[in-house]
């Protein structure tokens, strides 16, 4: 197979890895970029192709399924057809002629010697152009499944819990491009950073959710000196709210029970003048990410990493040892559908119950490490009741010495001690936060 690194070749190779190996799209794409010399414009195009094709996979398969008249024997063919169909149906500024021509070139590059795959691709794509796009009837059970390219179980789950109209709104929202949000470090002047962002042409706008975040009008901030010097970091608005739910004095001992990749660990450390964050994670390689980010953001001296499954934390730490504990629990990640579109194909309804047991086990374990005046915050990047409200109910049932504590985080109030942010409310990630304290 050729290693030609055009934008479309990089995109196709990435898609093949994601679907063949089950790789995460963001990690696979970053690895692809490291081994190519694409310009920023080509990187943007490649990113759109990869995320868009994954996101619209069910929709694209519906468009192609009756046009494929032969068995596709080579593993690049179906990804190439989907990627090309995405360009034809979703990218108005890309001429159809260019899509067909580039698909022909890629088929010859990725195909085996003497392969006739390019003829198959050309024929199917021309048939798609002649016929145009199709959808099920609006009243058909699979209408939203195809229109929003979402698995049946997830569409039904959203309809069951929020009704058909809100479900349609949420589904449409997660298929929109993610915002470019950055959190400005608490250790620097926000005014100076905003001025610098304007000078660099990022046109920062104030977040609707928090004063520490700004929304940029385009990506590429990780190449800037502001990022490299740790004056800001890439973080979704909703994700930043979990740490803001605490009330800090500055000298606390803090436990971040599930810390990787470290965004919230850094945020915790920025709040401390004399305290320390103990950051746990089950994977050593992920803790290296926490250390690397802590160094970049100039808080490494306040962060101690420790490889550990938080479900066994009582075996190492003392009862009442911590003033603040954050459990940003492993979860289905369905609130991240906009940023990680492949999640919709990797999760099932059964996963929610399995994850609930893990989440509750972590909470039950680490809660005994909190002192009587401490604060415990539980958060997930998902919106399912099994992983959010049901976990809170079960935890309080198992631990009657705790109660929910009203709080304010960013510009959002949680008078009942819990807040759930759905993806269509602010155009952010979906997120859930609950805050507990020990009964007085």
**pLDDT tens for each residue of 406-436:** 999 999 999 999 999 999 999 999 999 999 9
pLDDT of res. 1: 42
Secondary structure (3-state) at 39: coil
pLDDT of res. 2: 41
For 298, what's the count of Cα atoms within 13 Å in the CB-facing half-sphere?
15
> Hey, how many other C-beta atoms are within 10 angstroms of the C-beta on 436?
25
Does the annotation flag 261 for ligand binding? yes
The tokens for 54 are: 């994954």
pLDDT of res. 27: 84
- Under 8 Å between Cβ of 333 and 383: no
- Under 8 Å between Cβ of 331 and 380: yes
Does the annotation flag 263 for ligand binding? yes
Does the annotation flag 52 for ligand binding? no
381 is catalytic: yes
Does the annotation flag 319 for ligand binding? no
> Hey, how many other C-beta atoms are within 10 angstroms of the C-beta on 71?
7
**Mean pLDDT, consecutive 10-residue segments, the chain of 440 residues?**
73 92 84 86 92 96 95 93 97 95 95 88 97 93 95 96 96 92 97 98 96 92 95 96 97 97 97 97 94 97 97 96 98 94 91 97 97 98 98 98 97 98 96 96
Does the annotation flag 259 for ligand binding? yes
| Nearest C-alpha neighbor of 281 from the set 259, 254, 253, 314 | 259
Does the annotation flag 309 for ligand binding? yes
pLDDT of res. 406: 98
- Under 8 Å between Cβ of 230 and 222: no
pLDDT of res. 35: 83
Does the annotation flag 219 for ligand binding? no
Does the annotation flag 205 for ligand binding? no
Q: What is the maximal distance between C-alpha atoms in the chain?
A: 77
Q: 99, 120, 243, 381: which one is catalytic?
A: 381
Secondary structure (3-state) at 336: helix
| Nearest C-alpha neighbor of 381 from the set 262, 242, 281 | 242
């Amino acid at each position: 197979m050729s290693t030609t690194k055009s934008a479309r070749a990089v995109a196709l190779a990435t898609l093949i890895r994601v679907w063949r190996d089950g790789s995460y799209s963001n990690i696979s794409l970053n690895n692809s970029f490291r081994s190519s010399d694409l310009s920023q414009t080509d990187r943007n195009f490649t990113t759109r192709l990869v995320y868009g094709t994954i996101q619209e996979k069910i929709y694209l398969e519906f468009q192609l399924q009756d046009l494929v008249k032969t068995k596709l024997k080579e593993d690049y063919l179906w990804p190439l057809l989907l990627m090309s169909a995405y360009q034809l149906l979703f990218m108005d500024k890309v001429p159809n002629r260019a899509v067909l021509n580039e698909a022909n070139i890629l088929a010859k590059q990725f195909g085996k010697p003497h392969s006739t795959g390019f003829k198959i691709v050309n024929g199917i794509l021309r048939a798609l152009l002649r016929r145009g796009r199709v959808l099920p009837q609006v009243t058909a059970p699979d209408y939203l499944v195809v229109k929003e390219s979402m698995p049946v179980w997830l569409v039904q789950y959203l309809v069951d819990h929020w009704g058909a109209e809100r479900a349609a709104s949420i589904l449409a929202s997660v298929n929109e491009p993610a915002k470019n949000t950055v959190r400005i470090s608490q250790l620097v002047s926000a005014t100076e950073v905003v001025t610098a962002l304007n000078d660099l042409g990022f046109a920062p706008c104030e977040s609707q959710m928090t004063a520490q975040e700004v929304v940029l009008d385009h990506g590429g901030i990780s190449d800037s000196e502001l990022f490299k010097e740790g004056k800001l970091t890439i973080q979704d608005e909703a994700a930043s709210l979990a740490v803001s739910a605490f009330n800090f004095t500055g000298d606390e001992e803090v436990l971040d029970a599930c810390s990787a990749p470290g965004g919230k660990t850094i945020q915790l450390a920025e709040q401390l003048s004399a305290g320390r964050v103990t950051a746990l994670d089950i994977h050593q390689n992920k803790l290296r990410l926490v250390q690397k980010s802590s160094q970049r953001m100039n808080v490494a001296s306040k962060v101690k990493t420790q490889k550990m499954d938080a479900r066994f934390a009582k075996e190492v730490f003392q009862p009442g040892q911590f003033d603040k504990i954050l459990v940003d629990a492993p979860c289905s990640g369905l609130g991240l559908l906009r940023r990680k579109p492949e999640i919709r194909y990797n999760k099932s309804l059964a996963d929610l119950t399995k994850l609930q047991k893990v989440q509750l086990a972590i909470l039950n374990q680490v809660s005994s490490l909190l002192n009587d005046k401490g604060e415990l915050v539980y958060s997930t990047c998902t919106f399912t009741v099994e992983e959010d409200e049901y976990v809170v109910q079960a935890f309080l049932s198992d631990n009657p010495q705790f109660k929910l504590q009203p709080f304010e985080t960013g510009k959002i109030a949680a008078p009942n001690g819990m807040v759930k942010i759905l993806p269509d409310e602010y155009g952010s990630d979906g997120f859930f936060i609950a805050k507990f304290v020990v009964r007085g």
